Amino acid sequence: MADKGITSRTQDFSQWYLDIIERAELAENSAVRGCMVIKPYGYAIWENIQKELDRRIKASGHKNAYFPLLIPKSFFTKEASHVKGFAKECAVVTHYRLKESPDGKGIVVDEDAKLEEELIIRPTSETIIYDTFSRWITSWRDLPMKINQWANIMRWEKRTRPFLRTSEFLWQEGHTVYATEEENIKEVMDMLQMYVDFARDTLAVETYSGRKSESEKFAGAVNTFGVEAMMPDGKSLQFGTSHDLGQNFAKAFDIKFADKDGTVKTPYQNSWGVSTRMMGALIMTHSDDNGLVLPPSVAPIKVVIVPISKDENRDTVMEYCNNIVEELKTEIEEVELDARDFVSPGYKFNEWEKKGVPVRMEIGERDIQNGGVTMVRRDTNEKMFVERSQVLEYTKNLLNEIQNSLLNRSQSIIRNNTHAVESYDGLKTMMKGEKGYAKVYWCGDPKCEESIKAETKATTRCIAEEDVSGKCIYCGKDSKEAWYIAQSY
Ligand SMILES: [Zn+2]
């Protein structure tokens, strides 16, 4: 039975997604179109994502730093394909002062305060960071340079949707410089794998990963590698990217180092990032018609306890609940006792269900008499009675089981939505119907890719297999590569 207020997923996937965000209190629109307000509960999930990812980034030897929000316009013209790729979505700062309007009734831009050089609000930070690197790097002793930044980013979007596509979003961007091409490429792949592992272990989201096509690669990169996740509506979501920048930016920003033998060389660079878009993947992958479902590893509240009492037994029930909270907190930090006395237990059940708390305990006088607690797991809505002495062990196991079971579900979504397709008619039928990933041979010609996109709305997401042999699904020419193609967010 669908909760009132949440559109059924099968009826209208897109409205279902928006309803979850609203009812679980994750985010809302702001006065500025395309810029969302991330609410405390949504931000708490983001902080958990950030914490775990930051741990992994630091474990791989990167240090956090912070660079300016504003970038001189001239920086963008230094790498030709980079500027082309981002020009259409740049917000530009032209003035630095306002003044009272001549009629005294309002505020206008002060034309006397026009900037000599316009500034771009960062759509990504390669240019400003590499300008800095050109001063930080002079010798082989300065390499590798391994820097990460957590920041907000602005890319002006016309059609927006919370978390999936917003003009302002939050992300991390890693920027690394190496003396040799081999080391550089190894790291491009290592960071790609870090995202794959993070998605799987922490977010319980299974992905495909691999090289992107020329048309889908990052503006200015030699190669882009992407991580793609399959959403339950059959569309792919680009979860993260890792770019091999080669020497393109190093040359444009004059980054050089004196090697051990004294010769001056140009280093190799890579960059990689994931954003609040991951929240979109998390929400769509696990949630159901009753609201948000969260893997325990990122849930701000892992266990909620709802006491069910009347005036005459309130003290007894609360004491029993407090005792359980105390015991759980010895091993599980994120436990909440919902002691509000101005809403009914039924209201609370409903609220925590919508917010996706993995385990809910309902404790009333009857549970106490029976010597245990009633537990409900959010992912399956299964209800169980657990003996008091077993509560801590049982809860720990249950949280693990929920985490694993959500991953298994995500793995079947990606598996069941991937089909080897050999005929172009088959592809067209698939993209009109169930969608998902079509694994196809593609000759590599951008014209075939373009025609497929125009006719089926499906794009190449990432390479599936190299050094194979088959016939291009579009033109029939020999092909050595199989690709995952899908419609995407
Ligand atoms: Zn072809």
Contact 273, 225 (CB under 8 A): no
Query: What pLDDT is stored for residue 95 in this prediction?
Result: 97
| Per-residue pLDDT at 82 exceeds 90 | no
Query: What pLDDT is stored for residue 159 in this prediction?
Result: 85
Distance 85 CA to ligand 1 centre (A): 25
Distance 486 CA to ligand 1 centre (A): 17
Dist CA 30 CA 39 (whole Å): 11
Query: What pLDDT is stored for residue 304 in this prediction?
Result: 98
Distance 240 CA to ligand 1 centre (A): 27
Distance 443 CA to ligand 1 centre (A): 4
| Per-residue pLDDT at 1 exceeds 60 | no
CATH architecture of 418-486: 2-Layer Sandwich (3.30)
Arithmetic mean of pLDDT over the chain = 96
2 pLDDT tier (thresholds 50, 70, 90): very low
CATH 3.40.50.800 fits 303-398, yes or no: yes
Distance 93 CA to ligand 1 centre (A): 44
- CATH, domain 13-286, list 3.30.930.10, 3.90.550.10, 3.40.1000.10, 3.40.228.10: 3.30.930.10
Residue among 205, 377, 361, 375 nearest 290 (CA): 377
Contacts of 271 (CB under 8 A, 6+ apart): 124, 126, 173, 174, 175, 176, 218, 242, 243, 245
| Per-residue pLDDT at 80 exceeds 90 | no
| Per-residue pLDDT at 79 exceeds 90 | no
- What residue spans define the domains of the chain? 13-286, 303-398, 418-486
| Per-residue pLDDT at 4 exceeds 70 | no
Query: What pLDDT is stored for residue 203 in this prediction?
Result: 98
196 pLDDT tier (thresholds 50, 70, 90): very high
Distance 246 CA to ligand 1 centre (A): 28
Dist CA 182 CA 101 (whole Å): 60
Q: Exposed e or buried b for every residue in 259-289, given b needs 16+ CB within 10 A?
A: eeeeeebebbbbbbbbbbbbbbbbbbbbbbb
Distance 205 CA to ligand 1 centre (A): 32
Q: Count of H helices and E strands in the chain?
A: 14, 27
| Per-residue pLDDT at 81 exceeds 50 | yes
Query: What pLDDT is stored for residue 458 in this prediction?
Result: 97
Q: Exposed e or buried b for every residue in 456-486, given b needs 16+ CB within 10 A?
A: bebbbbbbbeeeeebebbbeeeebebbbbbb
Q: What average pLDDT does the segment 10-26 reach?
A: 97
Distances (CA, A) of 172 to 45, 65, 122, 154, 274: 16, 11, 13, 13, 6
Encode pLDDT of 299-332 as tens digits: 999 999 999 999 899 999 999 999 999 999 999 9
C-alpha dihedral sign at 25, 30, 34, 40: negative
* Phi, psi for residue 464 in degrees, rounded to 5: -100, -45
476 pLDDT tier (thresholds 50, 70, 90): very high
Q: What average pLDDT does the segment 30-41 reach?
A: 95
| Per-residue pLDDT at 3 exceeds 60 | no
Query: What pLDDT is stored for residue 83 in this prediction?
Result: 86
Q: What is the DSSP string of 365-422?
A: HHHHHTTEEEEEETTT--EEEEEGGGHHHHHHHHHHHHHHHHHHHHHHHHHHTEEE--
Contact 238, 216 (CB under 8 A): no
Encode pLDDT of 419-431 as tens digits: 999 999 999 999 9
Segments in 110-180 forming alpha helices (H): 126-136
The residues that bridge with 176 in the sheet, in sequence order, are 146, 270
